């Protein structure tokens, strides 16, 4: 939308801007962060036509606007809410608002309509409409300045230092309004000295110092960048030359709210793969000895295979160890893996096992502390800070989910709203009243909420920027839909299982193409589920985990049944934590169909790529009298897609399934919203082939 190239500006002989390149795409909120005097306001003035640049170009939607006038810029859809508000003190609130639309020559009817819209967004201004602007509080004057800029219905809104001089509580209100504006589709260039606030509220940011752009990138990344954090926190020193460089560039003059940044770093201390492997070997040795000494179950298994604690001398020796399975947990119910005396156990959790006995796990205080710490790491990786309000809509109780999300949230210092799953009306009410910024749930529940938000038309009144979801596979189209209906929220897939502490053992990073997992707490092997031999990095297989410091119930080569693959090499996000793909399915819910193994995720992928289809579907498997298997897909059309397109869509689905999975399917399309939704895991596979198995 806005493209600035090599822009320079001078005040007399003094140069204020040096070759600025900056780009804003439609719908983005972009922050321009820098200290007082860095050149931020000059840049805004150049865009708005209030200053004339000495070189370079500014284009808006492809049109050259380098030497525009303020009135022309307003007509082109650019409005400025200036630094220091600049409201006219002697004029009323109403008259100040009228001024915002002067260049547009609106009819009285249109002008009145727009003023009403501003009042709707800022009810405070409506209450004070006849009052002189000079008698308003700082926060109200800021609202008036923003309201005045909105009178022109800008497609690009320039906000110059909206939080300057405001109390923190009022700042919260102003930033909530900025996010709501962004959600309703306004593109925003936000200029701020307050780095933490600006980075939390934007998609992308540029850091400006002494008239030059010195850093740029995704805001969530910059917020987590250790060098920048050190600079923001004023830690520049001889030991930290990078921070000194930023300090010399003027960055440490940025106005700071220290408590708003992470005060602790939950990332691991190892520096490279070699250090991680040493740490893992120590942990493996400790775990084997601990389990052998503490657990009759493990000792018996080790003795059967001739393993003694001293048998472990390298990481490869892990392959000598016997596997642990869900069956071991069930047959030894309730505490088969317990490896410490009862008096050291401080808590138990259980899985929501659907068949037979539940899997029960026990924890020492250290186990809980470790879990809490690495769950905080998940939040940190997702860019969540003390500014966030986290609505935890996963199950509380004997399950691990709610407790994990809760403790991690408190550890990182964010505000937790422990609502639990279900209760859609209360969920919506809290999203509106508390302005929760993060929503945690299963994927099914997130979809249910997304549709509810859409139905009630409140996407621009809520404030959810991030959704952390887990425990269930999700298709690309489902993710996209959840994000869209939530007003553009960013999704993070979180992994974990009760046996391995609980949720939070890994999370998707802000680059969204992998899960980083906590290799300093467990070793992850990927094995062929049939042969149980390791597969090469990059190939799909079953995830098998071994804990490194878990006391209460250590896991040794525990078969998770989750199908994933290692992604080798470093991540573009800069984290050195190892990574795997998002979970593709479970090795025991592979569909065996006419001799072909099909992962339900394969169907996800195919349906996601066909435009016009919704994200809900069911797979029905049946067997005819001749003992032949048949697969039927029942798929929803996307919202608003007419039934007349069904034949064409059916053809495309059947064609793609045949082409990619080599099987023939019958496809049935149904109306959007007609398949059942659930706040827990939705059942998608209905295998009706074997009716007599129980006999």
Residues that bind Zn ion (CB under 5 A): 509, 511, 571, 573, 575
Q: Considering the complex, state which of residue 349 and residue 377 has its C-beta at the smaller distance from Zn ion.
A: 377
Q: Are strands 204-209 and 541-547 parallel, antiparallel or unpaired?
A: unpaired
Q: Considering the complex, state which of residue 576 and residue 663 has its C-beta at the smaller distance from Zn ion.
A: 576
Q: Considering the complex, state which of residue 535 and residue 571 has its C-beta at the smaller distance from Zn ion.
A: 571
Could you give the residue ranges of the DSSP H alpha helices within 257-319?
Answer: 273-294, 296-305
402: nearest Cα among 424, 418, 384: 418
Least Cβ distance, residue 384 to Zn ion (angstroms): 16
Tell me if 585 sits within 8 A of 561, measured CB to CB.
no
Q: Considering the complex, state which of residue 24 and residue 509 has its C-beta at the smaller distance from Zn ion.
A: 509
| 633: CB partners within 8 A, 6+ apart | 603, 607, 617, 618, 619, 620, 653, 657, 665, 666, 667, 668
Long-range contacts of 534-541 (CB under 8 A, 24+ apart): 534/319, 535/565, 537/565, 537/566, 537/567, 537/568, 538/565, 538/566, 538/567, 538/568, 539/565, 540/564, 540/565, 540/581, 540/584, 541/565
Tell me if 58 sits within 8 A of 7, measured CB to CB.
yes
DSSP line for 320-362:
GSPPB-HHHHHHT-S-TT--S-GGG--EEEE---SSSSPPEEE
434: nearest Cα among 387, 384, 391: 391
Rounded distance between C-alpha atoms, residue 465 and residue 443, angstroms: 16
130: nearest Cα among 167, 96, 83: 96
Least Cβ distance, residue 268 to Zn ion (angstroms): 14
Least Cβ distance, residue 622 to Zn ion (angstroms): 42
Residue with tokens 């996010």: 179
Q: Considering the complex, state which of residue 42 and residue 224 has its C-beta at the smaller distance from Zn ion.
A: 224
Q: Considering the complex, state which of residue 110 and residue 265 has its C-beta at the smaller distance from Zn ion.
A: 265
Q: Considering the complex, state which of residue 147 and residue 578 has its C-beta at the smaller distance from Zn ion.
A: 578
Using alpha carbons only, how large is the chain's radius of gyration in Å? 29
Rounded distance between C-alpha atoms, residue 567 and residue 329, angstroms: 30
Least Cβ distance, residue 569 to Zn ion (angstroms): 11
Least Cβ distance, residue 469 to Zn ion (angstroms): 18
Q: Considering the complex, state which of residue 168 and residue 568 has its C-beta at the smaller distance from Zn ion.
A: 568
Q: Considering the complex, state which of residue 289 and residue 571 has its C-beta at the smaller distance from Zn ion.
A: 571
Least Cβ distance, residue 575 to Zn ion (angstroms): 5
Least Cβ distance, residue 186 to Zn ion (angstroms): 30
What separation, in Å, do the N-terminal and C-terminal C-alpha atoms of the chain show? 67
Structure tokens at 237: 């020193």
Least Cβ distance, residue 613 to Zn ion (angstroms): 30
Least Cβ distance, residue 224 to Zn ion (angstroms): 11
């Amino acid at each position: 939308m806005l493209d600035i190239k090599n822009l320079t500006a001078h005040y007399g002989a003094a140069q204020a801007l040096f070759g600025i390149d900056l780009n804003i795409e439609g719908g983005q909120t972009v922050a321009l962060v820098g200290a007082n005097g860095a050149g931020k306001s000059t840049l805004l003035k150049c865009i708005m036509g209030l200053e004339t640049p000495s070189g370079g170009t500014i284009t808006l939607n492809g049109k050259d606007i380098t030497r525009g006038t303020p009135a022309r810029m307003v007509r082109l859809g650019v409005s400025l809410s200036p630094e220091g508000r600049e409201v006219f003190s002697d004029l009323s609130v109403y008259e100040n608002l009228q001024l915002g639309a002067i260049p547009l020559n609106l009819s009285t009817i249109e002008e009145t309509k727009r003023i009403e819209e501003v009042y709707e967004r800022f009810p405070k201004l409506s209450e004070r409409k006849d009052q002189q602007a000079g008698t308003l509080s700082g926060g109200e004057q800021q609202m008036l300045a923003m309201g005045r800029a909105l009178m022109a219905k800008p497609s690009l809104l320039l906000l110059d230092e909206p939080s300057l001089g405001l109390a923190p509580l009022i700042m919260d209100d102003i930033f909530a309004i900025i996010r709501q504006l962004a959600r309703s589709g306004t593109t925003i260039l936000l200029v701020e000295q307050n780095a933490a606030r600006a980075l939390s509220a934007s998609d992308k940011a540029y850091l400006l110092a002494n008239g030059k752009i010195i850093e740029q990138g995704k805001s969530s990344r910059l917020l987590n960048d250790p060098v920048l954090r050190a600079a923001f926190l004023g830690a520049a020193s001889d030991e930290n030359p990078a921070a000194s460089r930023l300090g010399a560039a003027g960055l440490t003059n940025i106005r700071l709210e220290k408590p708003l940044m992470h005060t602790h770093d939950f990332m691991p201390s190892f520096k490279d793969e070699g250090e991680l492997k040493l740490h893992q070997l120590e942990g493996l040795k400790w775990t084997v000895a601990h389990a052998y000494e503490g657990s009759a179950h493990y000792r018996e298994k080790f003795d059967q295979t001739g393993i003694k604690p001293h048998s472990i001398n390298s990481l490869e020796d892990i392959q000598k160890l016997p596997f642990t399975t869900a069956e071991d947990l069930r047959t030894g119910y309730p505490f088969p893996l317990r490896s410490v005396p009862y008096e050291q156990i401080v808590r138990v959790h259980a899985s929501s096992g659907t068949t037979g006995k539940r899997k029960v796990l026990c924890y020492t205080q250290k186990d809980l502390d470790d879990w809490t710490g690495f769950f905080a790491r998940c939040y940190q990786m997702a860019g969540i800070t003390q500014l966030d309000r986290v609505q935890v809509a996963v199950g509380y109780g004997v399950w691990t989910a709610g407790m994990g999300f809760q403790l991690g949230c408190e550890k990182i210092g964010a505000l937790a709203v422990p609502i639990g799953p279900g209760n859609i009306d209360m969920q919506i009410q809290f999203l509106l009243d508390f302005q929760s910024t993060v929503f945690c749930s299963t994927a099914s529940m997130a979809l249910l909420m997304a549709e509810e938000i859409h139905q009630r038309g409140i996407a621009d009144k809520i404030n959810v920027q991030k959704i952390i979801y887990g425990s269930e596979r999700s298709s690309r189209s489902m993710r996209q839909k959840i994000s869209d209906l939530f007003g553009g929220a960013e999704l993070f897939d979180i992994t974990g299982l009760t046996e391995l502490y609980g949720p939070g053992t890994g999370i998707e990073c802000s680059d969204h193409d992998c899960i980083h997992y906590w290799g300093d707490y467990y070793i992850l092997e990927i094995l062929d589920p049939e042969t149980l031999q390791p597969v090469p990095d990059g190939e799909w297989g079953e995830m098998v985990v071994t804990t490194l410091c878990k006391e209460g119930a250590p896991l040794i080569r525990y078969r998770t049944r989750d199908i994933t693959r290692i992604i080798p090499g470093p991540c573009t996000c800069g984290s050195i934590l190892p990574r795997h793909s998002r979970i593709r399915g479970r090795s025991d819910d592979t569909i065996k169909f006419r001799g072909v193994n099909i992962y339900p995720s394969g169907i996800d992928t195919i349906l996601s790529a066909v435009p016009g289809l919704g994200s809900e579907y069911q797979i029905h498997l049946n067997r005819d009298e001749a003992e032949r298997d048949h697969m039927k897909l029942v798929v929803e059309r996307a919202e608003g897609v007419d039934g007349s397109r069904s034949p064409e869509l059916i053809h495309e689905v059947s064609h793609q399934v045949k082409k990619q999975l080599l099987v023939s399917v019958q496809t049935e399309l149904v109306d959007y919203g007609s398949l059942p939704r659930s706040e827990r895991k939705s059942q998608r596979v209905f295998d009706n082939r074997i009716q007599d198995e129980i006999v």
